[in-house]
Amino acid sequence: MKKVKIKKPVIYSMCIAVSALLLGGLWYIDTSQKSLNKDQDEDLNYVSRLFDDNVISVVSTAATIIRPYNNEQIKALNNFYDYQSDEKAQQNAIINYDTTYIQNNGVSYGGINDTFDVISVLPGKVTSVKEDNLMGKIVTIEHDNNIVTTYQSLSEVTIKEGDNVAQSTVIGKAGQSNLEKDLGNHVLFEVEVNGKYVNPENCFNKTAEELKSN
């Protein structure tokens, strides 16, 4: 077999050509990848704009205070004692126990024969669970904005001290108390804002911020 001798200039030219082809291929792949990524980013941005422009949030960022029960048959059985209210309302806000008259710092809710679920009116942390001879089982929950709610006259409690509870969490069952036996099954609900008792009836459907600013 006859050997073919290739001159050095020809070899150099071939190497240069191969290198050029490889560099060209790499440049083409890189350019294509960038173009693909750009198209994907544009598609994602379009989808994002599509949702941002047309979707309306239906979740409120600020929870409003709800009633401490979810039974529509429940009603208020007495009044919160307000110095500025009329005489009739004040009389209905006085608790008479063993010849002692006590101003009501909350409102008792009940009016049905059976017991019912008592729920947390806002998210918060349970700071106290105790039992009192007059008031039955008592639960206290601290919320944001220096708001504290207390649930008294419970027959049973389903949470414990230290628990973090969500709004509408069942914290116990309404019961009877020795202080207000004539009310039957009920919950005495109290609200404190910055250490001051406020009328629960004026709190419902308001946010914690609104309640604090009043």
The span from the CA of 79 to the CA of 73, in Å, is 18
Residues 102, 135 within the same domain? yes
CA 111 to chain centre: 29
* 153 domain residue, yes or no: yes
Identify the pLDDT of residue 214.
Answer: 66
Residues 34, 80 within the same domain? no
CATH code for position 182: 2.70.70.10
Residues 149, 191 within the same domain? yes
Helix, strand, coil distribution of the chain in percent, nearest 5? 30, 30, 40
* 63 domain residue, yes or no: no
Residues 102, 130 within the same domain? yes
31, amino acid identity = T
Residues 43, 108 within the same domain? no
Domain count, the chain: 2
The span from the CA of 134 to the CA of 157, in Å, is 16
Task: Spell out the per-residue pLDDT of the chain, length 214, in tens.
Answer: 444 455 555 555 655 655 556 555 555 556 656 554 555 555 545 444 444 444 443 444 478 999 999 999 999 999 998 877 777 878 877 877 777 788 889 999 999 999 999 999 999 999 999 999 989 999 999 999 999 999 999 999 999 999 999 999 999 999 999 988 889 999 999 999 999 999 999 999 999 888 877 6
Identify the domain containing residue 2 by its residue range: 1-56
Residues 132, 180 within the same domain? yes
Question: Angle at CA 147, nearest 5°, toward 142 and 153?
Answer: 65
* 128 domain residue, yes or no: yes
Identify the pLDDT of residue 71.
Answer: 95
């071939």: which residue's tokens?
14
The span from the CA of 153 to the CA of 157, in Å, is 10
Residues 184, 126 within the same domain? yes
Smallest CA-to-CA distance from 93 within 112, 110, 108 is with 108
* 70 domain residue, yes or no: no
Q: How does pLDDT run across 140-188, given as a tens digit for each residue?
A: 999 999 999 999 999 999 999 999 999 999 999 999 999 888 899 999 9
Identify the pLDDT of residue 37.
Answer: 54
* 132 domain residue, yes or no: yes
Residues 198, 105 within the same domain? yes
